[in-house]
Structure 1
Amino acid sequence: MTNSAASVDDLVLANLPLIGYAVSELLHRVPPSVSRDELASAGSLALVLAARAYDPTTGVPFARYASLRIRGALLDELRSMDWASRGARQRVRELAATSERLTAALGRAPSRTELAGAMGTDVAAVDRAAQETARRVLSIDAADPAVTDMVRDDSPNPEEALLTAERLHWLRAAVHTLPERLRVVVEGIFLQDRSVAELADELGVTQSRISQLRTEALSLLRDGLNANLEPDLVHTGERPDGVAERRRQMYFASVAARAAMASTPSAVPGVVPTQRAAAMPAVSA
């Protein structure tokens, strides 16, 4: 989905503070040589792209969706700052380890000659390693472990992306097929950030009843998904011929019919799956 230029501008202007929050949080965990301006530039571009791609019909708040896109862009920017080759990073780590070991043994900072002897090399090589350490912008392997964890590539592979997209496709169909009252509760709590009290007032029931409807809806969603994706996980009701079980079976069939009529999920999750994943809880078997 592509939004109009006016709506994109409105979303960007209203959510500019997200960039500052994300950049400030990240700067506390990286070397001081990392440029705030470069991170802010990457975050700004991500915000604009998020505003262009945002689909309000998913019900996911834009701020939540944009925050994920901005954070991902900042981590990509950090990866691009890692100038050092693998050999250079290894020399930096070796020099640091040797320096720490000799300092502890000698009770003082070691000389260049002592470092060269301990490393089995010459003074020139020690000087080169020291220069690489001084001009290091951000070495992913040698940086603080917290930064290393942050810049890991945890994105799904193509097979995982396809499975995720397919499951979200079925989840969307299952939510739309829920009985109206259950659907209102699920969409209100998980997609619209509405409170239990607000939903209780709208439906004219108690807050505890809303909690019961939520539990009932999630159970039905789980069985609706499993009936079509993993049938062995679906438990048969106590009365297979009873009215309640027949209604469940009708719901399962309706979910399958709606999913079949909808478009086939893409192999690579796009904007809609990403936004849905940010809002809906995992419906476990």
Structure 2
Amino acid sequence: MIEPKAPHLSNMPMWEKWKEEQDLDAKKALIEQYLPLVDYVTNRMAIGLPKNVSKDDLASNGVMGLIDAIDKFDYKRGLQFETYASWRIRGAIIDGLRQGDWVPRSVREKAKRIEEAYQHLEQHYLRSVSDSEISTYLQVSEKEFTVMLQEIAVTTVCSLEDPIREEESETRMSLLVDEKAKNPDHKVHEFFLKESLVKGIEKLTEKERIVVSLFYYEELSLSEIAEVMSLSPSRISQLHSKAILRLRGALSKQKDQLMQNS
């Protein structure tokens, strides 16, 4: 008989006291143990944000996300709490940023225009399109397009955590994290959305794929990626912005198609 997989958690007695006995001292101890995780996520997300965004505010929202993670985490499933908590902390920080409306409307509109341009052109040509083609479609020079990318860079650092549709809570990145079982219909939709994400990543340029991989999977900061790729931080920021706008366009299109067929 195969033994069930044991949870790999530090301070298991604390988890048991909190989850089984609702011991508040145990919960406090868990919060204190994982506070460095809030600092890590906060520092990483603060890169590229406007100077008027307080890191203390980010950390405060992050702590709320950590507490939410400790409350909702099922320690018996054998999952890594750090991974689960990181998404909760990141989500709480993004919620705080969204409520603060820290991005000017004009910048959001530019990001939307570029996203729609990638979506339209890449669906038309069935390939990755160049900066020149995007610039022509937007009726701007390539230099102006580069400036637009610089302006919207801060909106793309968190963009995979934005809702797929304005009225929904499901995020693009949540498609990569299976937190709980879902109904069969949702699984079908999720399958096609993941497939769309994979196809979208395949259409990225080699450098864009490397940036996405290092940022979201290896969890390097944009400045660290710049050192690895021997490029300037501003160039890495541009590559990241273009990659995310391509992916957002691909996923938005797929989501609309699924909604029409529902």
* TM-score, structure 1 as length reference: 0.35
- Greater RCO, 1 or 2 (C-alpha within 8 Å, sep 6+): 1
Larger Rg: 1
